[in-house]
Amino acid sequence: MRPLLSLLFAAAGLFAAAGAPYQSTGFLTIPPEVKLGPMSAVEVDAKGNIYVLHRGEPGLIKFNAKGQYQKGWGAGMFKVAHGLRVDRAGNVWTTDNGNHVLRQFSSDGQLLRTLGEVGVPGPDQTHFRAPDDVVFASNGDLYVADSGNGRIVRLDREGKFLAQFGKKGKGPGEFATAHGLAIDKKNRVYVADRGNRRVQVLEPTGKFVAEWAGFGNPFGLLVVNQELLVSEGDVNKIFHFALGDGKIVKEWGDPDLLKLPHLMSVDRRGNLYVAEVNGKRVQIFKKAK
């Protein structure tokens, strides 16, 4: 276990249910100078640096690959911090659900770009309404879960509008709340359609492929190898779906182990990082033996 990770284990933190694919190794240690809020998202970049987005101050905090706190930024900037991703160039992207914007930062916290208009929601090509998440295609394009408008917006790497698809509704390609996103090596986009209690699978063009349901409400999504991991914050579980056929192949977790699991990330060693909204923590899991 990393020496700088918290030694404060929940009773269930040392517990690995029979057949569970992961076992808790503890929690990321948040320094006392950070005013902690509900944890929304975590992301590990290609160098192993760990970024955490939470609803406290400062809103965005960075750790090195050893789990050592480096710095924080964005104090007073976020209204409802939500989604966090790092692109291939190492830039940090965030979604601010309450201020209706995406922000791009350098890895050291310099604000590079704001997409949308702070505090001004809208349904057009230059505005968002409560954006929740963002993922990157292999060519650098961005897909944005614009939850308040019930659509997915596609942008180029500079933030120029390219396309949009979806609307509010319950049918194929429609969304109650496009809450979380994931993307695979084929650039298929997975949408956590929270409220409609399903994951929708879409082609890069937005064409509907499949609907995966029957497990509850999806919160966060993450593609790991040939599986889609889905956090279910209502029942505090993680579900694993096979990418090939959408069947549930594993499920694990309970209210003792997970405190409203939200967005997730994985590092190069296969360790899973889970941001827990109610736990106000980032829990780290290693693959079970």
Q: What pLDDT is attached to residue 20? A: 84
Q: Say yes or no to pLDDT of 44 above 60.
A: yes
- List phi, psi (to 5°) of 173: 75, 10
Q: Residue 37 belongs to what domain range?
A: 11-287
Q: Confidence class of residue 215 from pLDDT cuts 50, 70 and 90?
A: very high
Q: What is the DSSP letter of 57?
A: B
- Per the model's pLDDT, the better-predicted residue between 8 and 65 turns out to be 65
CA angle at residue 279 from 226 to 152, to 5 degrees?
50
**Does residue 72 form part of some domain?**
yes
Q: What pLDDT is attached to residue 63? A: 98
What pairing do the DSSP bridges indicate for beta strands 208-213 and 198-202?
antiparallel
Q: What is the domain-level CATH number for residue 93?
A: 2.120.10.30
Q: Say yes or no to pLDDT of 206 above 50.
A: yes
CA distance linking residue 6 with residue 285, whole number of Å:
13
- Per the model's pLDDT, the better-predicted residue between 4 and 229 turns out to be 229
**Does residue 4 form part of some domain?**
no
**Does residue 2 form part of some domain?**
no
**Does residue 148 form part of some domain?**
yes
**Does residue 3 form part of some domain?**
no
What is the b/e burial string over 163-174, where b = at least 16 CB atoms within 10 angstroms of the residue's CB? ebbbeeeeeebb
Give the mean model confidence (pLDDT) for residues 160-169: 97
Give the mean model confidence (pLDDT) for residues 21-48: 96
How do residues 54-111 score in pLDDT, each as one tens digit?
999 999 999 999 999 999 999 999 999 999 999 999 999 999 999 999 999 999 999 9
How do residues 109-149 score in pLDDT, each as one tens digit?
999 999 999 999 999 999 999 999 999 999 999 999 999 99
**Does residue 216 form part of some domain?**
yes
**Does residue 1 form part of some domain?**
no
- What pTM was estimated for this model as a whole? 0.93
Question: What's the structural domain count of the chain?
Answer: 1
Give the mean model confidence (pLDDT) for residues 233-250: 97
The amino acid at residue 148 is G
**Does residue 268 form part of some domain?**
yes
Q: Which helix (H) or strand (E) holds 244?
A: none
Q: What pLDDT is attached to residue 15? A: 41
Q: Say yes or no to pLDDT of 29 above 50.
A: yes
What pairing do the DSSP bridges indicate for beta strands 60-63 and 69-73?
antiparallel
Q: Say yes or no to pLDDT of 198 above 70.
A: yes
